[in-house]
Amino acid sequence: MKGFRQFLLRGNVVDLAVGVVIGAAFGALVTSFVKDVLTPLIAAIFKQPDFSTMYVEVHGSKIMYGSFLNALIAFLLVAFAVYYFVVLPVNALVARARKAPAPADPTTKKCPECLSEIPIDAHRCAFCTSQLAGSAIRA
Question: Would you say residue 63 has pLDDT above 80?
Answer: yes
Domain match, 125 and 76 both: no
Phi-psi map region of 115: left, alpha, beta (phi>0 left; psi -120 to 50 alpha): left
Pair 24, 86 in one domain? yes
21 plus 69 within the same structural domain: yes
DSSP SS3 for 62:
strand
Higher pLDDT, 49 or 26: 26
Buried b / exposed e over 40-50, threshold 16 CB at 10 Å, is: eeeeeeeeeee
Least reliable range by pLDDT among 43-52, 77-86, 98-107, 113-122: 43-52
Which domain CATH number covers 37?
1.10.1200.120
Query: What is the model's pLDDT at position 135?
Result: 58
Q: What's the domain count of the chain?
A: 2
Q: Is the CB of residue 122 less than 8 Å from the CB of residue 108?
A: no
> Per-residue pLDDT averaged across 56-71, rounded?
87
In terms of domains, do 42 and 67 share one?
A: yes
Q: For residue 26, what are the domain limits?
A: 2-97
Closest to 114 measured CA to CA, from 104, 123, 125: 125
Top-confidence residue, 9 or 17: 17
